[in-house]
Structure 1
Amino acid sequence: MLIRKMLFSAVLMGAVMATGCASVNKAPAALDAEAKQFNTHPDFAQVYVYRNETFGAAISMPVAVDGQRAGTTGPKSFFMFQLPEGSHTISSQNGASSLLINAEKNKNYFVWQEVKMGMASGGSKLQLVSEQQGRSGVQQCSLIHSNL
């Protein structure tokens, strides 16, 4: 029975991978370049959510902030948004992964959305990373539009 499930999962993942990459709404190149200047905002925290992997390329992964849909990542993509000072919950995959950020104005935060594959579907793990790691990851990606 376990072998049958594993075989089914392998066939399903192969079919998903054969259908192509997840579709994301890329921003114009000028906005991408501006976002990669990593300027802070004096009245808000600037949050970058990025996914710098091609693993799970066929899967779009939603991200929410305080229960409101913020955007959906695809392979090698990032989006950014501003938050007021205070505690905020960033979640992915309908809460399967979440993290709490205590946002401070005039500061950048970088959230890496790591792709995790399960037996039947993909998932993700959100991780708050250092500014150095975050900037490097964002540089590998293209800006997409945020819902916030």
Structure 2
Amino acid sequence: MWEPIADDLLARAVQLHSGKRKPLEHVLRLAGAAANDIESLVAVAVTSARQREESWAEVGRSAGVSAASARARWGGDQVPRLLERRAGSPSGTVGAVESLLNSASPPTWPELEKALLALGADAVTLERLRVTARADEAVVEQKDNEG
């Protein structure tokens, strides 16, 4: 149940651990996404425990908080809202790629960039590709206007 979240978390950890220096923006984006992954992983684990009929007291004890605190944090619609936010955010690898593949039209640059970053692409390389593509478009447009 939490394997896709754990897979995303592992992929982000590997990217952060690689020896290549990354721009601060990329590091912060990865770290923020990893924090969201951890929060989602905990929420799914709590939901699983509750489905196995573990009490809020047991959940709270495992989390080192009171039963009331556990219920407030993970009870009601908190977990579904958290997971919906994760699914709709750029942090989810599966969500980013699925969104790109299910589109009826060619992706915009921001959509493509989001999916490629989720798959581990380097932000600096992506920016170079974007600039190159823009330059190529300008050349084609100029030739079309001349012809």
**What TM-score, normalized to structure 2?**
0.21
Compare relative contact order (CA 8 Å, sep 6+) and give the higher one, 1 or 2: 1
Higher share in helix: 2
The structure with the greater share of residues assigned to strand is: 1
Looking at CA atoms only, which structure, 1 or 2, has the larger radius of gyration?
Answer: 2
